[in-house]
């Protein structure tokens, strides 16, 4: 059974022990992790944890673990190379037509696998007015920037007033056509996704607004979380999903299938299934790429294209994000192709292109 809802966000080992989510003998271990990485479990998230289950997939995402202090030499405090692609403070530019703006460094919850775990936490604050003005100048001066991704931390942690100001400023740039907000808030604190928030994102401009919802387990798509998405969507926001493939959380086909179906039923299009980034102390939560590819092949057998995310890897060193399979097509020595059908059986295919047709 899930526990009664705690009244406030749990932020320390003592809070977790008092809520019955961690045994008292683990206090020292958790304190060592808490000294390095932030802890926050909102009431909505804490309530989802099955107290008696040591392998609970929700606890695994949010409750600290001593293994977070074991750092693999291949891990990196900046695993996707934000700093290498930051032309001005708070802005990351990896692709020609997009810019990321990191508005805040705080979140409603802190995920144990966070790829920005060395940068986020309480007290890390928000982009200053001066820095935001510089970010606007940077975007304004580059007409090729078509989409602005608002991220952090969790940018929806800002007040409706700040969200409206940010939206107004970005929407006033004529070449910016799409505003995309990355958030966990509908899952972490659905009650904070209000009509006022939706209006702050959508009112007074004609830009396209996307919200990318981060959730990793179907149990996170509670009725209040779905209602929060409904408020956003009915208010004019389009939604996509982001999930991270995590060992012991969603690294089985049944869980991933249920998660993707839950997204679609909530009118959230499955977008990315991220391979776990090389963030420090997260090896115990990562899978191998081969495991991820096998899971994607199984999902393709089970799900319509509407419910299939793209399995992707953010290449370390700021080299960008790419789909990582599985591959369904291979060139044959005779110039044709072997194409694997959803059951994995190779089917031969040859291009049939009119030889005298010239490309116009
Ligand atoms: S909500 Fe996002 S930014 Fe915040 S801790 Fe989780 S993964 Fe990191």
321, 328, 337, 338: which one is catalytic?
A: 321
* pLDDT, tens digit (0-9, with 9 covering 90-100), for 41-80: 999 999 999 998 889 999 999 999 999 999 999 999 999 9
Average pLDDT of the chain, as a whole number: 95
Q: Is the pLDDT of residue 299 over 50?
A: yes
Q: What pTM did the predictor assign?
A: 0.95
Residue 36 designated active-site = no
For the stretch 78-133, pLDDT in tens is 999 999 999 999 999 999 999 999 999 999 999 999 999 999 998 777 899 999 99
Cβ 99 vs Cβ 85: under 8 Å? no
Nearest protein Cα to ligand 1, atom 6 = 111
Q: Of 302, 336, 279, which is closest to residue 112 (Cα–Cα)?
A: 279
Assess whether 314 carries a catalytic annotation. yes
Identify whether 277 is a catalytic site residue.
yes
pLDDT of residue 126: 87
Q: What 8-state DSSP symbol labels residue 326?
A: -
The token duo for 282 is 């997260």
> How many angstroms separate the CA atoms of 49 and 41, rounded?
10
Of ligand 1's listed atoms, the one at least distance from the Cα of 113 is 7
Which residues sit opposite 158 in a β-bridge?
A: none
In the residue annotation, 37 being an active-site residue is answered as: no
Token pair 């044959």 in the structure block, residue: 332
Catalytic residue among 107, 154, 219, 311: 107
DSSP structure string for 171-182: HTSTT--EEEEE
CA dihedral over 128, 134, 135, 140, signed as positive or negative: positive
> Using 50, 70 and 90 to split pLDDT, how confident is the model at 352?
very high
Using CA atoms, how far apart are residues 281 and 360, in angstroms rounded to an integer? 53
Active site residue 229: no
pLDDT of 232 above 90 = yes
Ligand 1 atom 7: residue of nearest CA: 114
Please give the pLDDT value at position 1: 45
* pLDDT for residue 55: 93
Residue 356 corresponds to which tokens in the numbers above? Answer: 């005298």
pLDDT of residue 360: 58
Q: Identify the active-site residue in 67, 98, 203, 302.
A: 98
Is the minimum distance from the CB of 220 to ligand 1 under 6 angstroms? Answer: no
């Amino acid at each position: 059974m899930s526990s009664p809802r705690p009244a406030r966000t749990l932020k320390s080992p003592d809070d977790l022990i008092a809520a019955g989510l961690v045994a008292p003998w683990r206090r020292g271990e958790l304190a060592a992790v808490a000294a390095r990485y932030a802890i926050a479990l909102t009431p909505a998230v804490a309530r989802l944890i099955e107290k008696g289950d040591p392998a609970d997939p929700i606890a695994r995402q949010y409750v600290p673990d001593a293994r977070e202090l074991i750092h693999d030499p291949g891990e990196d405090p900046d695993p996707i190379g934000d700093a290498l692609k930051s032309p001005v403070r708070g802005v990351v530019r990896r692709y020609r037509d997009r810019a990321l703006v990191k508005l805040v460094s705080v979140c409603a919850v802190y995920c144990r696998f966070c790829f920005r775990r060395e940068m986020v936490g309480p007290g890390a604050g928000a982009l200053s007015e001066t820095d935001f003005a510089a970010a606007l100048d940077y975007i304004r001066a580059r007409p090729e920037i078509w989409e602005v991704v608002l991220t952090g931390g969790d940018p929806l942690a800002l007040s409706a007033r700040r969200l409206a100001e940010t939206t107004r400023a970005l929407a006033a740039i004529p070449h910016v056509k799409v505003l995309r907000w990355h958030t966990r808030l509908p899952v972490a604190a659905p009650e904070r996704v209000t009509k006022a928030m939706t209006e702050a994102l959508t009112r007074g401009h004609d830009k396209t607004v996307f919200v990318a919802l981060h959730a990793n387990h179907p149990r996170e798509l509670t009725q209040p979380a779905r209602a929060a998405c409904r408020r956003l969507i009915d208010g004019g926001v389009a939604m996509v999903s982001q999930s991270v493939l995590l060992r012991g959380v969603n690294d089985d086909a049944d869980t991933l299938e249920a998660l993707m179906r839950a997204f679609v039923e909530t009118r959230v299009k499955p977008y990315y299934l991220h391979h776990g980034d090389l963030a420090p102390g997260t090896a115990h939560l990562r899978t191998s790429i081969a495991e991820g590819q096998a899971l994607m092949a199984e999902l393709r057998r089970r799900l319509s294209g509407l419910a299939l995310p793209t399995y992707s890897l953010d290449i370390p060193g700021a080299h960008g994000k790419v789909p990582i399979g599985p591959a369904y097509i291979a060139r044959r020595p005779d110039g044709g192709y072997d194409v694997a059908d959803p059951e994995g059986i190779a089917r031969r295919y040859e291009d049939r292109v009119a030889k005298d047709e010239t490309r116009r």
